[in-house]
Amino acid sequence: MRIARFSIDGNVAFGAVEGDPAGGPDALLVDIIKGVPFAEFELSGTKVPLSKVRLLPPVLPNKVVAIGRNYAAHAAELGNEVPDAPWAFFKPSTSVVGPGDPIVYPSFSQEVHHEAELAVVISRLCRDVPRERVKDVILGYTCANDVTARDTQRTEKQWARAKGFDSACPLGPWIETSIDLATASDLAITATVNGELRQAGRTGQMVHGIEDLIVNITEAMTLLPGDVLLTGTPAGVGPLLPGDEVAVTIEGIGTLTNKVISRG
């Protein structure tokens, strides 16, 4: 099931997206959900065309936990070593935007990069998750762009500003719940800028897999329903400029597209 969060006529709701995404928004319908996807819910049977709604970030996470240098080729392209254990950092909830929302170029940076990533959406409150139970705490998967002010990242020891500025975490277009853990561990992931291919990899290239990451993170902290885990980016990261359109596509999930604008 593809679960979207959207607004229509001033109201916000979750819905199940039906149809073939290859046919565009006009080929898709949203069946409004009674309730929220983090508990038992029903489909209302009330369906609206996707083209008539505004897609929002599929979740509003309490926290976004991101993993750095989790693809060896990406670490190498920036001259970094691959850490022995997962290297986690946070992106604040205020950095999250949805499909079609602008990425606002921060005033303090002259070098902003795209980073296409698979995002894992957590389904339930969890702590100290054993490896064999990881699949039980995953609601589904979505596309993410870990937008980074690269020059700021190089000059500041902490990455809070470089990766946490407003609009630095596009998510979407929806949560795909039908992908199992084994499948999610080897999906094609790409990023294009203005139609030009920049990144092309597979989630199977992760140094630390999804199970490893969730076990590692929940040793330290409680994850809440709707929290998001960013799993790292393949090689090919590069600059974004105002006016650019960046698209992250993940096999079996969909495409997340955002335009870059100057800060007004």
pLDDT at 80: 87
User: Rounded to whole angstroms, what are the CA distances from 186 to 19, 176, 180?
Assistant: 24, 15, 11
- Asked if the domains 2-55 and 64-262 are classified in one and the same CATH topology, the answer is no
The helix or strand, by DSSP H or E, that contains position 29, with its residue range, turns out to be strand 29-34
pLDDT at 104: 98
172: left (phi over 0), alpha (psi -120 to 50) or beta: left
- Measured in degrees and rounded to the nearest 5, phi and psi for residue 147 equal -65, 135
Q: What single letter denotes the amino acid at residue 109?
A: S
The arrangement of secondary structure in 2-55, i.e. its CATH architecture, is: Roll (2.30)
Determine contact, residues 33/13, Cβ cutoff 8 Å. Answer: yes
**Burial 51-88, CB ≥16 within 10 A → b, else e:** eebebbbbbebebbbbbbbbbbebbeeeeeeeeeebbb
Sign of the torsion angle spanned by Cα atoms 44, 46, 47, 50: negative
Beta strand pairing call for 188-193 and 29-34: unpaired
C-alpha angle 55-193-162 in degrees, rounded to nearest 5: 80
Which of 142, 147, 158, 150 shows the shortest CA–CA distance to 228?
142
- Measured in degrees and rounded to the nearest 5, phi and psi for residue 29 equal -120, 155
Q: What single letter denotes the amino acid at residue 98?
A: G
Q: What single letter denotes the amino acid at residue 45?
A: G
Question: How is the chain split into domains, by residue range?
Answer: 2-55, 64-262
Q: pLDDT tens across 205-259, in order?
A: 999 999 999 999 999 999 999 999 999 999 999 999 999 999 999 999 999 999 9
pLDDT at 23: 83
Which of 151, 176, 149, 178 shows the shortest CA–CA distance to 164?
149
The helix or strand, by DSSP H or E, that contains position 30, with its residue range, turns out to be strand 29-34
Which stretches of the chain drop beneath a pLDDT of 50?
A: none
What is the token pair recorded at 80? Answer: 């970094």
Proportion of the chain above pLDDT 90, given as a percent: 93
Q: Which CATH number fits domain 64-262: 3.30.1460.30, 3.90.850.10, 3.90.650.10, 3.40.190.10?
A: 3.90.850.10
Which of 62, 63, 227 shows the shortest CA–CA distance to 139?
227
